[in-house]
Chain A
């Protein structure tokens, strides 16, 4: 029996909570600007300053979780606070207070995701390191996120974080499914951690040619344009999601719980490659694996949420892989055009977007796809469409040649 998804929580730059998030998606809202969160820009007095500003989408406000007191929040990073809010929403929706804590697991997608917090702390105590707060020893480690979350919600089954670059969020989903299949837990929550970039990582991503910002420096609203011929690299966006996945047999005891979808297939393939470049073979292989697991062909898939970041080679490679897997007829849109690239969060947040779209019967528009890289795909245009889609594939790829795919069917 396939694992079942029963709960979703989302925090994003276009709305917190799945209702606001979904409304913003289908209405084509975005929130890109010159980023202003402390530590996101270098302090510079140079004349050409405007050319060095980083564009992205930042979350406006994160509400404090009721399960965490003020003193814990004081030492919780932005990534941890976002995770708490997403987890709270998903936890309540799935009614996990009725499940034995030892049968619940939490897997966090992402590594090194608190970079801006670390940068700010090191700047704050530069020249007076003797006063560095002792809690930095706990907080700088990514495990602090799941430590806070498991304490707040009393989770006792398992918890760890997994690093898979921009596929981390989906890797967490894959690992959650493995934990269920292995019988280690009955319920496993996957969280795609908010990747909190500092100015240093933004600078390096831009130097590498991965992050766009120079062409559209003065027009942030049109900078995120995956699969458009005039794309200029990925545009960063803060986001986080939590997804509750359950063993279908043990779920039967909680009959009132909403079932979003069954997971028909999940796959990972690595390319034996340390570099950022994609591989069409790797992408094709994970798509074929999930289709085989699901007992489907590409023509059976109604909707694909691709990885599509807006990078030069990544987008064109992905379309080649989709074409090779007979996915030209499936509806295709790009969540990153609306919320940016969440990096470690992307795979989980975009799976949340898939589930919410299947559930609502609406597919969100693509922003800024003025001149599609290829026209002979079934793109959702610049307006939302009604859909009866049931079977969907969600894809995530990342540096170091990681390819992941998940296939779900609306319940």
Chain B
């Protein structure tokens, strides 16, 4: 799965977790926090994404991501 596909996976789960994002056009520099996701929502979205990627890593390894694009990049590197 490439970075773009991972990005789309995150967006799909963000729409599941956060109401009102149905029609939002996600950008790489969107931060989940700015889109209305609180810390619980963000951990849900990350966990759903990790399951979709079948990627079992400690959450601490991806907390540095500032936005969805960076998170996609980080997850892509972990998948390598």
Residues of A within 8 A of B (CB): 69-72, 74-75, 128, 130-135, 138
Contacts and interface: CB of A to CB of B under 8 A. Distances in A.
A72 B18 CA distance: 9
Contact of B41 (A71, A130, A138): A71
Interface of B: 16-20, 40-41, 43-44, 47-48, 50-51, 56
Contacts of B40: 134-135, 138
A128 B43 CA distance: 17
B51 A128 contact: yes
B44 A131 contact: no
Contacts of A134: 40, 43-44, 47
Contacts of B48: 131, 133
Listed residue (A69, A128, A130, A138) with the most chain B CB atoms within 10 angstroms of its CB: A130
A237 B11 CA distance: 40
B47 A133 contact: yes
A308 to B, nearest CB: 44
9 contacts: A69-B19, A69-B20, A71-B19, A71-B41, A72-B19, A131-B51, A131-B56, A132-B47, A135-B40
Contacts of B16: 71, 74
Contacts of A128: 51
Contacts of B17: 71, 74
Contact of B56 (A130, A133, A135): A130
A103 B43 CA distance: 35
A75 to B, nearest CB: 8
Contacts of A72: 19
Contacts of B41: 71
A167 B20 CA distance: 41
B36 to A, nearest CB: 9
B20 to A, nearest CB: 8
Nearest to A128: B51
Nearest to A71: B19
A128 B50 CA distance: 11
A75 B40 CA distance: 12
A71 B18 contact: yes
A132 to B, nearest CB: 8
A69 to B, nearest CB: 4
Given A69-B20, A135-B44, 16 more contacts: A70-B19, A71-B16, A71-B17, A71-B18, A74-B16, A75-B44, A128-B51, A130-B56, A131-B48, A131-B50, A132-B47, A133-B47, A134-B40, A134-B43, A134-B44, A134-B47
